[in-house]
Structure 1
Amino acid sequence: MEKVIAKKKFGQNFLKDKTVLNKIIEAMPKNDNIVIEIGPGLGDLTSELVKYKGVIAYEVDADLLGILQEKFSKEISSQKFKLIHTDVLEFWEKNITLYGQGKYDLIANLPYYIATNIILKAFDDINCENIIVMVQKEVGDKFIAEVGDSDFCALSVLTKTISSYSKTVVVVPPSSFEPAPKVDSSVIYIKKNLDISLDNEYKKFLKVAFSAPRKKLSKNLSALLSKEEIQTVYQVLDIKNDIRPHELSPSLYRQIYNKVIIDGRNKRS
Structure 2
Amino acid sequence: MIKAKKKFGQNFLKDESIKAKIIQAIPHNADNIVEIGAGLGDLTTRLLELNARVKSYEIDDDLVPILRDKFKSQIQSGEFSLVHSDALSAWDDGLSDEPYFLVANLPYYVATKMILNAIKDPLCKGLLVMVQREVAVKFSAKSGSSEYSALAVLADLASKARLLFDVEAVSFDPPPKVTSSVIEIIKHKSLVGDVFSSDKEFVMFCDFLKAAFSAPRKVLVKNLASKFKKDAVLEAFKELKMAENIRPHELNTTLYLEIFKKVNNGK
TM-score (ref. length: structure 2): 0.93
User: Contact (CA 8 Å) 1:33, 1:103: kept in 2 or not?
Assistant: no
Q: Which one-letter code corresponds to 2:181 in the other structure?
A: S
Cα offset, 1:32, TM superposition: 4.8
User: Contact (CA 8 Å) 1:20, 1:170: kept in 2 or not?
Assistant: no
Q: Secondary structure at the match of 1:83?
A: strand
Q: Distance in 1 between matches of 2:22 and 2:11?
A: 17
Report the equivalent of 1:5.
Answer: 3
Return the match for 1:176 from 159, 165, 171.
Answer: 171
Q: Which one-letter code corresponds to 1:213 in the other structure?
A: P
With 194-203 and 206-215 compared, the bigger mean Cα shift is at 194-203
Report the equivalent of 1:264.
Answer: 266
Q: Per-residue displacement from partner, 1:158-215 (whole Å, max 9, x unpaired)?
A: 011120x221121100000000001100000000123443611111110111111111
Q: Which one-letter code corresponds to 2:266 in the other structure?
A: G
What pairs up with 1:1-269 in 2 under 5 angstroms? 3-52=1-50, 53-93=52-92, 95=93, 97-100=94-97, 102-163=98-159, 165-197=160-192, 199-261=202-264, 263-264=265-266
Q: Distance in 1 between matches of 2:67 and 2:217?
A: 46
With 69-78 and 135-144 compared, the bigger mean Cα shift is at 69-78
Q: Distance in 1 between matches of 2:216 and 2:43?
A: 36
User: Contact (CA 8 Å) 2:122, 2:190: kept in 1 or not?
Assistant: no
User: Contact (CA 8 Å) 1:98, 1:125: kept in 2 or not?
Assistant: no
User: Contact (CA 8 Å) 1:59, 1:65: kept in 2 or not?
Assistant: yes
Cα offset, 1:257, TM superposition: 0.6
Moved over 3 A (4+): none
Report the equivalent of 2:199.
Answer: none
Unaligned segments of structure 1, at least 5 residues: none
Cα offset, 1:224, TM superposition: 1.9
Q: Distance in 1 between matches of 2:99 and 2:229?
A: 43
Q: Distance in 2 between matches of 1:242 and 1:157?
A: 20
User: Contact (CA 8 Å) 1:23, 1:170: kept in 2 or not?
Assistant: no
Unaligned segments of structure 2, at least 5 residues: 197-201
Q: Which one-letter code corresponds to 1:144 in the other structure?
A: S
TM-score (ref. length: structure 1): 0.93
